[in-house]
Structure 1
Amino acid sequence: MDTSETEESNVGPRTLRRGLQLLQTLQSGPDEGLTITALSRETGLQRPTIYRLLAALQDSGFAHQVAGSKRYSANRPVASASIITTDRRVQIALPVMRKLAQQTGDAVFLVVREGYESVSLWREIGPYPVQILATYAGKRQPLGVGSGGMALLAKLDDATVEEIVNHNADSLEQYGGMTAREMRQLVNNTRSRGYSVVGNYAVRGALGVGCALCDTQGVPILSISATAITDRMPVARQKEIARLISQGLAAIAGKF
């Protein structure tokens, strides 16, 4: 057998073994997470390899960066849909999300902020044949890289926005090559427009529209967004979807 063919066939299994080793180390680690240095010491893997594997684990929803730190931790598995729906925010938003999914035909997402990250709590899938399932319950990503997270980020004060963007700057490139400068421009665009429009960052060929619900002090509580293939999102439809989301959020505003 050709040696190069044998080496190539071993790359996949070796990467998988390393990824599983890293995940097991995270799962058995402390609740406050582990640093890159600690992960390298525990696994024997080189730092560049750990960064690559962590990026894949985070993108797949198996791990996350602990907010406000340089530590990483494994995500807790979601046991069942019934457990997720015990979250009061999901219970309140679910009827609105289901209606929006039917109205738009597209996938609808419920997102909240946790520190420097956005966390998806729920998604509803619409009837259109092609769905963009940009995220799923439990997935974390830097606040602002998706339309739901951007809707939340834009509602925060300037100092907090700057703190979050600076903190996440090094990881933004993983999301379609986004930069801190582009993130700041998206914040300004969202504030001017009144709703977020984010495309081709977290998921290529996709565009999402999101709106945030705030409390009486103007602090964002949650956001709802809808995502579809870019061809289904001309400007007129973006505005219509934003209007529908805003109506849905207004209907549940007094329940929090």
Structure 2
Amino acid sequence: MIDRTVSLLRLVATYCPKGARLTDLAKEAGLPAPTARRILKRLIQHGLISQDVTGHRYSLGNFARELGLASDGAREEASRHRPLLEALVTETNATFYLLLRSGLDSLCIDRLDFAGAAKQPTLGIGDRLPLGAGVGGMILLAALPEDQAEQAISANASVYRRFVRTTGSSFRDHLEAARRDGYVVRRSPVTPGIVGIGITLPSPDSPARLAVAAALETAEATPSRRSFTIAKMQELTQHFTRRLC
């Protein structure tokens, strides 16, 4: 029962902010709809899940958000790495995200836009995607040992159907390229006009838990601009990591 409850909580979090339908949650969790409904009802009673006025969609509740605020881990990581994001934005004129591997997902824990950046419906702080979705999630998945990566892919199989534009037929090609190159570059299948670049942060721990991702406007993402951005990301993350050690 605890496993089922945690699974539903995690799935609801990946649907933020639009909310999730019961049928989708039950299908992805592998539960009969009545069982999922009973668990969600109890989670609502405890404030961990909320339900919109139509009763059709579920989102994280206030108590879940309050529990998140009580945890300092992600906030400390974001604060510690904010100077890195500032340096990356200054050097590349791109929007940057800091992502944390969280179980089967990547979690956006910080974001910094460059001056004049177009407002795009891209990743926001607190957004959660399954590992492999998005350039940050793909590079964090690629950093895992192969057996652990395959376990994550298998566990996320039902969730990937929701991210088919990110995890479609080219998924394995992108994964192998990420392992080979140490970075991910691809046009965003979710946000038109954006090219994403992702790399992990060097870490004494294995595998890496943090990644940075850049968002470049497609019109400006020439091959030379992409190469320059990748080189700066590698240079600055290496330098910043050495300073932290």
TM-score, with structure 1 as normaliser: 0.66
Shift in CA distance, 149/252, structure 1 to aligned 2, threshold 3 Å: same
Q: Judge conservation of contact 2:165–2:190 (CA < 8 Å) in 1.
A: no
Amino acid at match of 2:152: I
User: Which has the higher mean CA deviation after the structures are superposed, 170-179 or 131-140?
Assistant: 170-179
2:28 matched to 1:40?
Answer: no
Match of 2:126, SS state, is: coil
Q: RMSD over aligned Cα, in angstroms?
A: 3.6
Q: 1:90 Cα deviation (Å)?
A: 1.4
Q: Work out the percentage of aligned pairs sharing the same amino acid.
A: 20
Pick the aligned partner of 1:243 from 207, 214, 231: 231
Shift in CA distance, 98/165, structure 1 to aligned 2, threshold 3 Å: same
Matches within 5 A, 1:131-150: 131-132=119-120, 134-150=122-138
Corresponding residue for 1:232?
A: 220
Shift in CA distance, 22/169, structure 1 to aligned 2, threshold 3 Å: closer
- 2:238 and 2:219 mapped to 1: Cα distance? 28
Corresponding residue for 2:201?
A: 213
Q: 1:234 Cα deviation (Å)?
A: 2.5
User: Which has the higher mean CA deviation after the structures are superposed, 213-222 or 119-128?
Assistant: 213-222
Deviation track 1:131-175 (CA, whole Å, cap 9, x = no partner) reads 445211111011121111212111111111111122222222322
Gaps of 5+ in 1: 1-18, 27-32, 44-52, 64-72
- 1:39 and 1:103 mapped to 2: Cα distance? 48
- 1:222 and 1:113 mapped to 2: Cα distance? 6
Greater Rg, structure 1 or structure 2?
1
Gaps of 5+ in 2: 1-17, 42-55
Corresponding residue for 1:94?
A: 82
Q: Judge conservation of contact 1:197–1:208 (CA < 8 Å) in 2.
A: yes
Q: Judge conservation of contact 1:118–1:142 (CA < 8 Å) in 2.
A: yes
Q: 1:98 Cα deviation (Å)?
A: 1.2
Q: 1:226 Cα deviation (Å)?
A: 0.7
- 1:126 and 1:113 mapped to 2: Cα distance? 24
Amino acid at match of 2:116: Y
Deviation track 1:1-30 (CA, whole Å, cap 9, x = no partner) reads xxxxxxxxxxxxxxxxxx88979xx9xxxx
Q: Judge conservation of contact 1:106–1:131 (CA < 8 Å) in 2.
A: no
Q: Judge conservation of contact 2:100–2:106 (CA < 8 Å) in 1.
A: yes
Pick the aligned partner of 1:110 from 86, 93, 98: 98
Q: Judge conservation of contact 2:136–2:211 (CA < 8 Å) in 1.
A: yes
- 1:232 and 1:75 mapped to 2: Cα distance? 43
Shift in CA distance, 158/231, structure 1 to aligned 2, threshold 3 Å: same
Matches within 5 A, 1:58-137: 62-63=59-60, 76-77=64-65, 87-132=75-120, 134-137=122-125
Aligned pair count reads 205
Match of 1:174, SS state, is: helix
TM-score, with structure 2 as normaliser: 0.69
